[in-house]
Amino acid sequence: MKQDFEGPRLDRRTVLRLGAALGVFAAAALAGTTPVRASATGLRAVLDDTTEIPLESGPLYSFRCSFLRGPVVEFSRLAEVWASTQYMRILSCEVNYIGPGEHSLTLEESAIVQVAEDAGLVVDDRAAAYLTILATCTRIPLDRLEVRLAELGAPVVTAALALAPEAPQAKQLAEWLARAT
C-alpha cells in the first residue's frame, strides 16, 4: 500500500521571509559578518555567541508604490510589495526611512551597501545608497528595465541581488548584470 505524505505547506509570506533571511545570510557571508539564526522568537542576526538582533523588528521603511490605473499604495515591507495582487501593475516605488531617529544602517544593511562598494559604487551617503538598493528590489516595469538598470549601474544591481535574490525580478536583474559586465 502506497501512502502519500504531504508535508506542511508554507504560505507565501513565510517563504518570502525565509528568502529574505537567506539574502541577509548571503550578504553577511560576502561581507564577512555573522550569520542569521532562526530561533523560537523569529529570525535574528547573530553578532557573537551572546548577542542577537531581531530581523523582524517593525516597519522602518515606507514603500510608496504607484500603479498603472490605480492609487498610490504604501507598504511597510518589501515582501508586502512582492505579495501585492497588483504587483505586475507597479510603475514605480519610492522608499523612505520612517524609523525612529536618524537613519543609521543595521549591520545587514551596511553589508549590502558594502557589496555595492566592492562592486565599484562610490558612496557618499550609505543610508541613501541603501534606499536606492532597496527600491531596486521592488519592481521596475519591463519596458523601462534596461534604461533604469543602466542608470542605476552594475554595483547597485549587484547589491540588489545580494539583498533580495528571491525578488520577482531577480532573474531579469541577473540577466541584465551578465550582459552589462
Return phi, psi of residue 123, to 5°: -115, 120
Tell me: the pLDDT tens digits for 70-120?
889 999 999 999 999 999 999 999 999 998 889 999 999 999 999 999 999
CA 112 to CA 128: how far, in whole Å?
A: 12
Whether 27 and 111 have beta carbons less than 8 Å apart is answered as: yes
Which pLDDT score is estimated for 100? 87
The DSSP bridge pattern shows strands 90-97 and 73-75 to be: unpaired
Give yes or no for residue 131 having a pLDDT over 60: yes
pLDDT at 47 over 60: no
Non-local (6+) Cβ contacts of 179 within 8 A are none
Provide the 8-state DSSP code for 11.
P
pTM higher than 0.85, yes or no?
no
pLDDT at residue number 69: 84
Q: Give 85 or 30, the one with higher predicted confidence.
A: 85
Closest CA to 37 of 26, 46, 29, 28: 46
Check if the beta carbon of residue 133 is closer than 8 Å to that of residue 112: yes
Concatenate the DSSP letters of all residues of 52-92 into one string.
Answer: EEES-----EEEEEEETTS--EEESSHHHHHH-TTGGGEEE
What pLDDT, on a 0 to 100 scale, did the predictor assign at position 51? 42
